[in-house]
Structure 1
Amino acid sequence: MQIIHFNDWELLDAYAAQTIINKIQEKPDAVLGLATGSTPLGIYAKIIEAYRSKEVSFAKTTTVNLDEYVGLSAEHEQSYAYYMKRHLFSHIDILGDHYHLPNGLADNLEAECDRYDQLLEQNPIDIQLLGLGHNGHIGFNEPDTKLSAGTHAVQLKAETLEANARFFESAAEVPKMALTMGVGSILKAHTIILVVRGADKAEIVKQALTGPITTDIPASLLQTHPRVIVLLDREAGRKLK
């Protein structure tokens, strides 16, 4: 596991973006596993800058997202499909049938999870971008006595609902369920980039990266992966020796 500390968010974003850009330049048809939320916004902005300056093309690239809320359409402003179009896809040359997210409006959620797992099998992930939840979740894989390897529907924990409430007009509007890529699928990625910011994440960073491997902290399973790059701002990494 490679852990890199940054004093400046812009430098962190640039490093993460350049790692992804380097992969696309090396392998134009690479598969990217993408994340949402506030953590990757600066990274996506740097990627867009590189595309506009003609450093990189995504015309042959495929993307698969970690998760999507159950019950939100792709047109809903708080859906992850909408987020990805707003913050990345509408600004680069990726083809419309080359980016993928779980369908949170599927009539049969189990069948949708099976479909997404088949998609992941057909498109092995070269680089998976991850954030870290306050309770140690990655994707929407919440702490539990056991974790699902494949894509599955999950009831979101209270702390996750609270953290996501800032994106909605009221806490009552936050969907209580999501479809998420499983930990097993995440760990199949060739390279994983974990990005964490803020003093409020310092303790969970320490537990996830240096504590025991446990399903109570899903991110701790990243310790078992041979190619994890952890990018931390000064505050998030302050409890690491």
Structure 2
Amino acid sequence: MKVVVTKSYDESCAYVADMICKLVNEKPNCKLGLATGGTPVPMYKKLIEANKAGKVDFSQVHTVNLDEYCGIPETHDQSYRYFMNTNLFDHINIDKANTYVAKGMGDAEANAAELEAKVREGGVADLQLLGIGNNGHIAFNEASDHLISVAHIEKLTESTINANARFFEKKEDVPTTAITMGMGDIMAAKCVVLIATGLAKTDAIKGLVMDNVITTQNPSSMLKMHENVVVVIDQELADAVGYKG
């Protein structure tokens, strides 16, 4: 595992954006696994800027997103399809037919099976982008006594619902289940890049980078078994974790 400590969150976003641009320039038809949530938004803005400046061309790129809420349509402003369109896809020269976000409506099990197929379609992701939850969850693979390897329906924990409540009018509006890639899907990617910021992530990142323990109570710790993982954190978080490099 490679841990990169930057001076600031903005620098972390620039570092990851540069990694993605380099990959796309080297392999124009690459496959990207993408993430939602607040953490990657500034990084996506940097990808938009690079695309508009002619520094990167997304016209042949394929993408698959980690997850989607169950029970809200893609037109809902909190759906992850809406998020990806408004924060990235609407602003770059990507073919939306080559982008995939799981369906939130309809037969949830069938939608999960479709996501699983998309993870493998045309080969696994060249790069999988991840954020991390306060409890160490990645995608919607929640801290538990067990984890699931394939795409599935996950019941969201109270801490995840509380963390996401800020995006909804009221807590009762937050979906309680989601479709998510499984841990095996994430681990199948050729390269995994996790970006984290904020002191709320201290315990989760400490469990990821400060020891050799792997536990389902911190799903991110599973990444220790992957041969090509890059964890990007800023100095504030590194100090809180006690990471010295």
Specify the TM-score bucket, using the shorter chain as the normaliser.
over 0.9
The count of residues paired between Structure 1 and Structure 2 equals: 240
8 Å CA contact 2:68, 2:80 repeated in 1 = yes
SS at match of 2:154: strand
Q: Structure 2, unaligned stretches of length 5 or more? A: none
Once the 2 structures are TM-superposed, how far is the Cα of residue 139 of structure 1 from its aligned partner? 0.2
Q: Structure 1, unaligned stretches of length 5 or more? A: none
Deviations along 1:81-125, one digit per CA (max 9) or x if unpaired, are 00000000000111121000111102x221221121111111310
TM-score (norm. length: structure 2): 0.96
Matches within 5 A, 1:57-72: 57-72=57-72
Percent identical across equivalent pairs?
A: 39
TM-score (norm. length: structure 1): 0.97
Deviations along 1:48-102, one digit per CA (max 9) or x if unpaired, are 0000001111110000000000011110001110000000000011112100011
Q: Using the alignment, how far apart are the partners of 1:116 and 1:40 within structure 2?
A: 21
Matches within 5 A, 1:79-98: 79-98=79-98
Matches within 5 A, 1:172-191: 172-191=172-191
Partner of 1:223: 224
Partner of 2:108: 109
8 Å CA contact 1:195, 1:232 repeated in 2 = yes
8 Å CA contact 2:33, 2:65 repeated in 1 = yes
Once the 2 structures are TM-superposed, how far is the Cα of residue 235 of structure 1 from its aligned partner? 2.2
Once the 2 structures are TM-superposed, how far is the Cα of residue 202 of structure 1 from its aligned partner? 1.4
4+ residue runs over 2 A deviation? 208-211
1:21 corresponds to 2:14: no
Once the 2 structures are TM-superposed, how far is the Cα of residue 164 of structure 1 from its aligned partner? 0.5
8 Å CA contact 1:130, 1:195 repeated in 2 = yes
Partner of 1:11: 11
8 Å CA contact 1:202, 1:235 repeated in 2 = no
8 Å CA contact 2:135, 2:203 repeated in 1 = no
